[in-house]
Amino acid sequence: MNDARDKGLALNPKYDRDGLITAVVTDDHSGELLMVAHMNAQALTLTIDTGLAHFWSRSRQALWKKGETSGHMLEVRDLRIDCDQDAVWVRAAPAGPTCHTGARSCFFRRIGQDGLSNVDAAD
């Protein structure tokens, strides 16, 4: 255990070998899980400095400000880091659907024994 990282109050993210940490995003009002993405150091800094969620796109290998093209930005209400500082939790107010498919959450399908099914919005 690294007491300074695990218990201290200094921000010291533990990025993986690709320079990324996992970011979990939930709706600040409802608590609904909206998306999981990754941040590099620049994305985390921009998120802290601007109050808008920024991520690193692994597929495009580029910095990405959520909602920059769609207008569906994520306004950060609370930003937390886990005990060993290798994952962040973004509690945000979404300005529209979070998923690139137009769904409110990226987690709109349920896995069952018969395959996938859509999750009812009230679920």
The full set of domains in the chain, from first to last, is: 3-98 (3.10.20.810)
- Which residue numbers belong to the known binding site for Zn(2+)? 83, 99, 106
pLDDT per residue, tens digit, the chain (123 aa), is 677 788 888 899 999 999 999 999 999 999 999 999 999 999 999 999 999 999 999 999 999 999 999 999 999 999 999 999 999 999 999 999 999 999 999 999 999 999 999 997 555
What is the three-state SS of 2-38?
Answer: CHHHHHCCCCCCCCCCCCCEEEEEEECCCCCEEEEEE
- Which residue numbers belong to the known binding site for Mg(2+)? 82, 84, 86
- Which residue numbers belong to the known binding site? 82-84, 86, 99, 106
CB of 110 within 8 A of CB of 33? no
